[in-house]
Amino acid sequence: YMYGKGTQQDEAEARKWCEKAANQGLPAAQRIFGTMLRDAYGSPFRDLGKAREWLAKAVAQGDAEAKLELAATPEPPPTNSAR
């Protein structure tokens, strides 16, 4: 679904399947899912906090590319909890 090979490209479907693989503990899937969250792939919203969490999981399992992606992912903006 991600590249549309053999099927219609569908970002939301690609994201769904990537999340399932990431939840199974696959470092490459964790890295890819983290970048999807960071880049709002298959969703109208970015989630930098969750993106960093998934990328950190992949880094912890030795995924070198995830280290680069984590460094390229900004910290989420602070929330104003005083409101």
Residue 78 belongs to a domain: no
Residues 31 and 65 sit within 8 Å (Cβ to Cβ): yes
Calpha distance 29→9 (Å, rounded): 18
Q: Vertex 82, ends 81 and 83: CA angle to 5°?
A: 90
State the pLDDT at residue 65: 98
Residue 59 belongs to a domain: yes
Range of the domain at 49: 11-71
Residue 49 belongs to a domain: yes
When divided into structural domains, the chain yields a total of 1
The pTM for the full model equals 0.88
Calpha distance 49→38 (Å, rounded): 8
Q: Tens digit of pLDDT for each residue in 24-68?
A: 999 999 999 999 999 999 999 999 999 999 999 999 999 999 999
Calpha distance 2→82 (Å, rounded): 41
